[in-house]
Amino acid sequence: MARRPVFVPNLEDSPLVREVSIEFKWFAGMSIQQKQKSIASLHESAKRKDIQPVLEISTKSTVEIGRALSAFNLSIEIGGGQRVSVEAAYQGGKVFERGGPHRDLYGLSGKQIKADERLKNSGNLVAFEFNGVKWSLEPKTVFYDWLYVSALSQNPDLGNQILDYRGFSDIEFNPEKSINCQAKAAALFVALHRRNLLYSAISSQELFIQTVSGNKSTNFFQMNLL
């Protein structure tokens, strides 16, 4: 048995996304067939908790929309008509003690990005930067969430297809080892969209942070880089 979270858009109160830990039968092995068996088991267990339908968002998803919404496939605009994957924007936007952001990662595949030694050997992560705007490391996940939600808002043909899902999963995400999660970000998109908060939230860094944190009195910095 294993446990993984299913992320549920909250349409009524706080927080915007509820994380529900689901126990299910795990199918060991690295093949996509084994991953998909685990996904089916996870979704069946979520159904017994009255969370249905659930969409798996990953390259292992059995549903085309789930694969399209993987951070390795979902794209965001970077200006000049160019688009890069959310994953490339996130990794390329990292600012370390000894380097970054590394925008040359924008044009690389996920495998190539993971192999780049600069992401491992440049000291501590100190900030993020995207399109001239610098983001703090706090609140945690906010930069990743903003990238994903913004990218999905730019792809309404994809975004409209997920509005009726009750939950979202990512079989590869283990909360004991990782922080950012594309399934959580998708649930956040749905919650913001359903509450008519989406476009106001993504209109500025400060509004996004205030909206997703529920803290309208906190001042967060925005720095336009030269």
Structure-token pair, residue 6:
């299913």
Q: Using one digit for the tens of pLDDT, what is the confidence trace for 145-168?
A: 999 999 999 999 999 999 999 999
pLDDT at residue 226 greater than cutoff 70: no
Q: Using one digit for the tens of pLDDT, what is the confidence trace for 170-215?
A: 999 999 999 999 999 999 999 999 999 999 999 999 999 999 987 5
pLDDT band at 218 (very low <50, low <70, confident <90, very high): very low
Average pLDDT over residues 129-155: 96
Query: CA–CA separation, 143 vs 212, rounded Å?
Result: 11
Specify the long-range contacts of residues 17-22, CB closer than 8 Å, at least 24 apart.
17/184, 17/187, 17/188, 17/191, 19/175, 19/184, 20/46, 20/49, 20/51, 20/167, 22/46, 22/49, 22/51
pLDDT band at 222 (very low <50, low <70, confident <90, very high): very low
Structure-token pair, residue 148:
């994903």
Q: Using one digit for the tens of pLDDT, what is the confidence trace for 20-55?
A: 999 999 999 999 999 999 999 999 999 999 999 999
Angstrom CA distances, 97 to 38, 211, 223, stand at 39, 30, 18
- Backbone dihedral angles phi then psi of residue 48, each to the nearest 5 degrees: -70, -15
Q: Say which residue, 110 or 215, is predicted with more confidence.
A: 110
Residue with tokens 């990292």: 94
